[in-house]
Amino acid sequence: MQMEELKDALSPGYDRDMSHLKGLSRLNVPIRAILEGYSNIEPDKVLAHVKDVRDRAFAVLQYPYPCVAKYMFLEPAISTLPCFNAIVDRVKEGQKLLDMGCAFGQELRQVGTKDVG
């Protein structure tokens, strides 16, 4: 989070519910593949599921996390790392991958969609 975003989040006029961000009309292909293939969510229910998960998570947060409000958990980044294939290979060999606070486990799910045991 950038310093200005943090200042905005802590300001008295901050929209904690971020109601202006509640709309979501489409998903990118990688996250849709994860939700449909890995999580077995029916294609016509994916969008509603994502909105529901986001709203439920945002409702219980003590502090307003813009990354949840902005659906940033729908942008897994692990596959963009130069070492992604090496990570997948190591997991296939039985090594463990520890997820340290990347929201809803979307990074691990992306590894899981690469035919990892």
What are the distances in angstroms from CA 117 to CA 13, 53, 90, 94? 48, 27, 11, 9
Query: And the tokens for 59?
Result: 């409702």
Cβ-based neighbour number of residue 10 at 10 Å = 10
Total-model pTM: 0.64
pLDDT band at 96 (very low <50, low <70, confident <90, very high): very high
pLDDT band at 76 (very low <50, low <70, confident <90, very high): confident
The rounded Cα 111 to chain-centroid distance in angstroms is 13
* Extended strands (E) in the chain: none
